[in-house]
Amino acid sequence: MKLSINSKKQISPLNFNHLSTYIMKNYIYLLLLLLPTIVAQAQQPKDKIEQYRIAFITKEVDLTVDEAKLFWPLYNKYRDELEAIRASKKVDFNTLDMAKISEEEAEKKAKEIFAMKQSELDIQKKYYVEFKKVITAKKALLLIKADADFKKKLVELLQQKKPNDR
């Protein structure tokens, strides 16, 4: 085999879109690798959950750097609105004595639950439209799936953490 010093390779110009995607994916993988350390250092359980949510959704939706800059402030507003609805219209089944509740009270509680779920759905529909302004419709759909998958994973993690508390 003969090597030539004068052989010239063609060098293509850098594709910065590809480069930014590559950097973002590597950043996400690094974040996921460091997540246990970050989570261990977080002081509040809510902080741990939010950090895991950010890493999970970023990976599942495959957000680019530019998309993430616009997406996360919007997503945080979305989560705040959902939390406000849930906090204001929370129905606590543990405080209800189902054996003694009257038909009228049961009807009223059921309507409160349906109203809360309708309010949540209205917020989800509103923000789906807003999300499509900063990410594609496909990624907005992936977000819906990622939110549901995240909730399932969170429940699994909590069940694994406290197996004797059932």
Asked whether residue 1 is assigned to any structural domain, the reply reads no
Asked whether residue 5 is assigned to any structural domain, the reply reads no
SS3 assignment, position 3: coil
Asked whether residue 138 is assigned to any structural domain, the reply reads yes
Q: Give the max Cα distance, the chain.
A: 93
Asked whether residue 10 is assigned to any structural domain, the reply reads no
Asked whether residue 145 is assigned to any structural domain, the reply reads yes
Indicate the number of domains in the chain. 1
pTM beyond 0.85: the answer is no
Asked whether residue 9 is assigned to any structural domain, the reply reads no
Asked whether residue 29 is assigned to any structural domain, the reply reads yes
As a whole number of angstroms, the distance between CA 149 and CA 156 comes to 11
The domain in which residue 96 lies consists of 16-165
Give which of 66, 50, 52 is closest to 135, Cα–Cα.
66
Cα first-last separation, the chain: 70
- Return per-residue pLDDT of the chain as tens, 166 residues: 554 455 455 545 555 566 666 676 776 766 666 666 655 555 567 788 888 899 999 999 999 999 999 999 999 999 999 999 888 877 666 677 778 888 998 898 889 889 989 999 999 999 999 999 999 999 999 999 999 999 999 888 888 877 665 4
Asked whether residue 114 is assigned to any structural domain, the reply reads yes
